């Protein structure tokens, strides 16, 4: 419950000028399932709307997260997209996940660069959304039963040692 | 003359082949073929806690599926709070032999039985497909949302219960300790008194 | 020009054959028309080809296209399927209805069979009832999962996935969506962190109990020793007031020993002392 806060930091790289979308402006809303005690996988979802200064709408977007390519899914509202994926609980890390968004052109350029074993990082993404994972709740650190047992052992040890000191 | 006739035959054959190919375009084995899985990624389904619903679209055909639209009307807002992700999504292109996922997080508002039914997917088999293909996703099936109370009883850390237990055991420990401590203090006072003398 | 029809006769089937076999619209239309009538014939044909169970006298419908895809583990269709023992196996079945009537998908059952003879069952997995209606020209996907037993690791099995469905007229069909030999493999995972920590924790517990036990034993030993000592002291000292000197700290005892008479004390304090002593 404590981890339900929406964590979004948006970074916009505006230096990229493409024919399709100029000066993209991204406003994103993200949600990460924080309570792993009832889940088998962790879901990362982010919904964002893309606004281009030249008013271009309805372009296909592709996202890349940690080397994974995901197509951005278009939502019912105009220029709204969603990028979502699930990860194993063991492989998720807390910290920033940066979602790089590409349009069709730059995405194909990236594919080409990978195919030709060139450095794909030379192609600048349209925008970057940073998703902060504050950490996944995996359940309490120690069980309360365990704590109680520990406490009981401590109390009895104190009592016995006091008794033996008394009798010595 | 013979060569000329051969040419005609050849042309005819090509025409026939084209004709068959044109008909073949209508065939079912051609174009995109989608398998849509709807899966719930939860160990426990609990009222007012996250339920991850993941739609995965696999294209097993030999062409890209176009304008793939996933619509799931099975989570009505009366019974579910939509945490994140939309239940209506469109993917422009699913290339052959790839898969695309879409994840939605919902929270059931009430405990009780719930039947997860299929989502509907519309897509175009190929660019010039005359109509949209309708596909149903797999059904996760009947599930039971446990109430939060029940879940808490089973899986909470029980800190309050143990605290209550500690309080209840306190008298049996504290009373002898207090008695012993008071007598000890008295004795220490006595020994100090005797030292002074 | 005379041999033109002859050549056509040769060329056309060749052309048709190069296309996929189901692509001849004329033939499929014919099949569509007399599907209900011809059914008995079709059944008999398929019984011979299908290595199916004895009394199941049904076959696949010609208007239905099925496909299968293993999603867990991911499977390359060119190689034999390898299933890890004790791990979940998930697959999807695609069902396309090309007919003019509804089809109802009833059940899917999966079984392991003896790879040499598919009539010999080794293990039956649960039959799942779907009861899903597929309208004409619609598609449906079914999900099924099972876990192969750990004890089957390292052996080949015949995996048979069977789909049962019927059309709106009540005609039942049965199709083996998957009927191949699969290999059950054993996944040897190295020690993961969790188990290592579990072992460390267990070792720590054992050591803790040992230490605790030793402490307890030594304290008992000391106690018994002290009781014997107490007895000798009681015998050797004059104790007119029935005071247990064992309770009295050493400096007080020394003081008592120095002065033959008990130091002046208030009776109240003496009483307290006695009560503590008699408590033993």
pLDDT digits (tens, 9 = 90+) for C197-233: 899 999 999 999 999 999 999 888 766 555 555 554 4
Q: Does any domain span residue C160?
A: yes
pLDDT of residue C224: 59
Question: Cβ of A130: how many Cβ atoms within 10 Å?
Answer: 16
pLDDT of residue B2: 47
Q: What is the ipTM of this complex?
A: 0.76
Q: Residue C225 is encoded by which pair of tokens?
A: 């020793």
Assess whether pLDDT exceeds 70 at residue C89.
yes
Q: Does any domain span residue C4?
A: no
How far is B50 from chain A, CA to nearest CA, in Å? Answer: 7
Query: How do residues A30-64 score in pLDDT, each as one tens digit?
Result: 899 888 888 999 999 999 988 888 777 778 888 98
Assess whether pLDDT exceeds 90 at residue C262.
no
Least confident of A63-77, C53-67, C237-251: C237-251
Contact assignment for A29 to B84 by CB distance below 8 Å: yes
Contact assignment for B165 to A33 by CB distance below 8 Å: no
What is the rounded average pLDDT of the residues C17-24? Answer: 46
**Residue C122 and residue C39 share a domain:** yes
What is the rounded average pLDDT of the residues B116-145? Answer: 90
Assess whether pLDDT exceeds 70 at residue C53.
no
Using only C-alpha atoms, chain A has a radius of gyration, in whole angstroms, of 25
**SS3 labels along C202-229:** HHHHHHHHHHHHHHHHHHHHHHHHHHHH
Q: Which residues pair with A25 in a beta bridge?
A: A51
d(CA A15, CA B152) in angstroms, rounded, equals 51
Give the whole-number percent of chain C exceeding pLDDT 70: 61
What is the rounded average pLDDT of the residues B169-184? Answer: 88
Query: How do residues B122-136 score in pLDDT, each as one tens digit?
Result: 999 888 878 889 999
Contact assignment for B13 to C8 by CB distance below 8 Å: yes
Assess whether pLDDT exceeds 60 at residue B72.
yes
What is the rounded average pLDDT of the residues C243-253? Answer: 71
**Residue C137 and residue C72 share a domain:** yes
How far is CA B108 from its chain centroid? 13
Contact assignment for C219 to A157 by CB distance below 8 Å: no
Full residue range of the structural domain in which residue C213 is found: 190-236
**Residue C177 and residue C126 share a domain:** yes
**Residue C26 and residue C66 share a domain:** yes
The mean pLDDT of chain C is 73
**In the structure, what pLDDT confidence band is assigned to residue C31 with cuts at 50, 70 and 90?**
very low
d(CA B126, CA B56) in angstroms, rounded, equals 20
Give the whole-number percent of chain B exceeding pLDDT 70: 84
Q: Does any domain span residue C154?
A: yes
What is the rounded average pLDDT of the residues C169-178? Answer: 89
Nearest to A168 among C212, C216, C222 (CB): C222
Residues in chain B closer than 8 A to A47 (CB atoms) = 84-86
The mean pLDDT of chain B is 83
Contact assignment for A160 to C219 by CB distance below 8 Å: yes
Assess whether pLDDT exceeds 50 at residue C6.
yes
How far is B1 from chain A, CA to nearest CA, in Å? Answer: 53
Q: Does any domain span residue C2?
A: no
Chains contacting chain B through 3 or more C-beta pairs under 8 A: A, C
How many alpha carbons lie under 13 Å from residue C215 in its C-beta half-sphere?
Answer: 15
Using only C-alpha atoms, chain B has a radius of gyration, in whole angstroms, of 36
**Residue C106 and residue C90 share a domain:** yes
**Residue C196 and residue C180 share a domain:** no
Q: Which of C16, C23, C261 to mutate to test the interface with B (most CBs of B within 10 A)?
A: C23
Assess whether pLDDT exceeds 60 at residue C237.
no
How many alpha carbons lie under 13 Å from residue A151 in its C-beta half-sphere?
Answer: 14
How far is C247 from chain A, CA to nearest CA, in Å? Answer: 8
Assess whether pLDDT exceeds 60 at residue C245.
yes
Higher pLDDT, B63 or C246: B63
Count of domains in chain C?
Answer: 3
Nearest to C222 among A153, A157, A164 (CB): A164
Contact assignment for C251 to B134 by CB distance below 8 Å: no
Query: How do residues B39-51 score in pLDDT, each as one tens digit?
Result: 999 999 999 999 9
Domains in chain A: boundaries: 2-137, 142-168
pLDDT of residue C35: 39
Give the whole-number percent of chain A exceeding pLDDT 90: 11
**Residue C224 and residue C99 share a domain:** no
d(CA C139, CA B34) in angstroms, rounded, equals 9
Q: Does any domain span residue C67?
A: yes
Q: Shortest CA distance to C60 belongs to which of C182, C161, C129, C180?
A: C161
Contact assignment for B158 to A144 by CB distance below 8 Å: yes
- B190 in contact with C at a CB cutoff of 8 Å? yes
Contacts of C216 (CB under 8 A, 6+ apart): A160
pLDDT of residue B53: 94
Q: Does any domain span residue C163?
A: yes
- B38 in contact with A at a CB cutoff of 8 Å? no
What is the rounded average pLDDT of the residues B139-163? Answer: 85
Residues in chain B closer than 8 A to C104 (CB atoms) = none
Q: Which of C219, C225, C244 to mutate to test the interface with A (most CBs of A within 10 A)?
A: C219
Assess whether pLDDT exceeds 80 at residue C176.
yes
**In the structure, what pLDDT confidence band is assigned to residue A67 with cuts at 50, 70 and 90?**
confident
**Residue C92 and residue C46 share a domain:** yes
Contact assignment for A155 to B173 by CB distance below 8 Å: yes
**Residue C179 and residue C61 share a domain:** yes
Task: Provide the CATH number for the domain around residue C56.
Answer: 2.60.40.10
- C223 in contact with A at a CB cutoff of 8 Å? yes
How far is B27 from chain A, CA to nearest CA, in Å? Answer: 29
Residues in chain B closer than 8 A to C19 (CB atoms) = 20-21, 24
Query: How do residues A100-139 score in pLDDT, each as one tens digit?
Result: 888 888 888 888 888 888 777 777 888 888 888 888 887 7
Q: Residue C158 is encoded by which pair of tokens?
A: 């015949």
Assigned fold of A2-137 = Immunoglobulin-like (2.60.40)
Burial class (CB in 10 A: 0-12, 13-18, 19+), C163: buried
Under 8 Å CB pairs connecting chains A and C tally to 14
Nearest to B105 among A33, A38, A140 (CB): A33
**Residue C37 and residue C152 share a domain:** yes
**In the structure, what pLDDT confidence band is assigned to residue C106 with cuts at 50, 70 and 90?**
very high
Max mean pLDDT among C26-40, C51-65, C124-138 falls in C124-138
Q: Does any domain span residue C7?
A: no
The DSSP letter of residue C19 is: S
Closest CA in chain C for residue A157: C212
Chains contacting chain A through 3 or more C-beta pairs under 8 A: B, C
Assess whether pLDDT exceeds 60 at residue B160.
yes
Nearest to C94 among B17, B35, B187 (CB): B35
What is the rounded average pLDDT of the residues B109-119? Answer: 92
pLDDT of residue C43: 38
d(CA C97, CA B135) in angstroms, rounded, equals 10
Higher pLDDT, C150 or C136: C136
Residues in chain A closer than 8 A to C212 (CB atoms) = 153, 157
**Residue C198 and residue C105 share a domain:** no
Q: Does any domain span residue C6?
A: no
**In the structure, what pLDDT confidence band is assigned to residue C253 with cuts at 50, 70 and 90?**
confident
Give the whole-number percent of chain A exceeding pLDDT 70: 88
């Amino acid at each position: 419950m404590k981890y339900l806060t929406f964590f979004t930091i948006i970074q916009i790289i505006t230096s990229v000028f493409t024919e399709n979308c100029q000066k993209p402006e991204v406003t994103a809303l993200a949600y990460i399932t924080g309570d792993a005690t009832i889940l088998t996988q962790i879901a990362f979802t982010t919904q964002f709307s893309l606004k281009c200064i030249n008013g271009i709408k309805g372009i296909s977007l592709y996202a890349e997260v940690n080397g994974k390519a995901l197509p951005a899914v278009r939502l019912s509202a105009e220029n709204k997209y969603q990028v979502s994926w699930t990860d194993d609980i063991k492989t998720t890390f807390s910290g920033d996940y940066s979602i790089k968004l590409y349009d069709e052109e730059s995405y194909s350029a990236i594919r080409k660069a990978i195919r030709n074993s060139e450095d794909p990082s030379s192609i600048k993404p349209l925008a970057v959304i940073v998703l902060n994972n504050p950490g996944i709740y995996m359940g309490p650190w120690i069980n309360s039963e365990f704590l109680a047992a520990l406490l009981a052992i401590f109390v009895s040890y104190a009592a016995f040692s006091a008794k033996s000191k008394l009798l010595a | 003359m013979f060569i000329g006739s051969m040419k005609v035959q050849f042309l005819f054959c090509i025409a026939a082949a084209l004709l068959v190919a044109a008909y073949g375009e209508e065939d079912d084995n051609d174009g995109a073929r989608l398998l849509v899985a709807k899966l719930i990624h939860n160990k426990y389904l609990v009222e007012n806690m996250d339920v991850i619903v993941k739609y995965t679209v696999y294209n097993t055909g030999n062409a890209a599926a176009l304008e793939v639209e996933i619509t799931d009307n099975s989570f009505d807002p009366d019974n579910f709070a939509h945490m994140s992700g939309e239940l209506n999504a469109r993917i422009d292109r699913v290339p052959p032999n790839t898969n695309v996922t879409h994840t939605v997080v919902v929270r059931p508002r009430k405990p009780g039985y719930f039947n997860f039914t299929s989502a509907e997917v519309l897509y175009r088999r190929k660019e010039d497909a005359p109509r949209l293909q309708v596909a149903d996703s797999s059904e996760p099936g009947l599930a039971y949302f446990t109430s939060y109370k029940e879940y808490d009883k089973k899986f909470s850390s029980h800190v309050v219960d143990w605290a209550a237990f500690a309080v209840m055991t306190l008298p049996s420990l504290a009373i002898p300790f207090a008695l012993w401590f008071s007598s000890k203090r008295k004795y220490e006072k006595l020994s100090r008194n005797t030292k002074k003398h | 020009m005379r041999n033109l029809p002859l050549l056509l006769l040769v060329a056309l089937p060749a052309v048709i054959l190069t296309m996929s076999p189901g692509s001849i619209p004329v033939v499929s239309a014919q099949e569509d028309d007399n599907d209900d009538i011809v059914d008995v014939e079709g059944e008999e044909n398929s019984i011979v080809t299908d290595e199916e169970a004895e009394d199941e006298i049904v076959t696949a419908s010609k208007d239905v296209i099925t496909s299968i895809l293993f999603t867990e583990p991911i499977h390359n269709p060119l190689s034999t399927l390898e299933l890890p023992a004790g791990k979940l196996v998930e697959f999807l079945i695609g069902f396309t209805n090309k007919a003019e009537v509804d089809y109802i998908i009833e059940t899917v059952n999966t079984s392991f069979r003896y790879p040499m003879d598919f009539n010999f069952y080794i293990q039956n997995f649960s039959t799942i009832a779907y009861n899903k209606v597929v309208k004409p020209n619609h598609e449906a996907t079914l999900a099924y999962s099972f876990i192969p037993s750990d004890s089957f690791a390292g052996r080949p099995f015949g995996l048979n996935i069977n789909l049962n469905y019927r059309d709106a007229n009540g005609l039942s069909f049965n199709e083996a969506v998957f009927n191949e030999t699969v290999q059950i493999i054993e996944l040897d995972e190295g020690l993961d962190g969790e188990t290592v920590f579990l072992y460390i924790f267990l070792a720590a517990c054992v050591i803790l109990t040992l230490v605790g036990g030793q402490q307890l034993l030594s304290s008992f030993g000391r106690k018994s020793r002290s009781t014997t000592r107490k007895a000798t002291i009681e015998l050797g000292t004059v104790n007119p007031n029935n005071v247990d000197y064992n309770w009295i700290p050493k400096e007080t005892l020394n003081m008592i020993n120095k002065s033959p008479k008990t130091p002046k004390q208030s009776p109240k304090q003496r009483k307290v002392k006695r009560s503590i002593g008699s408590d033993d």
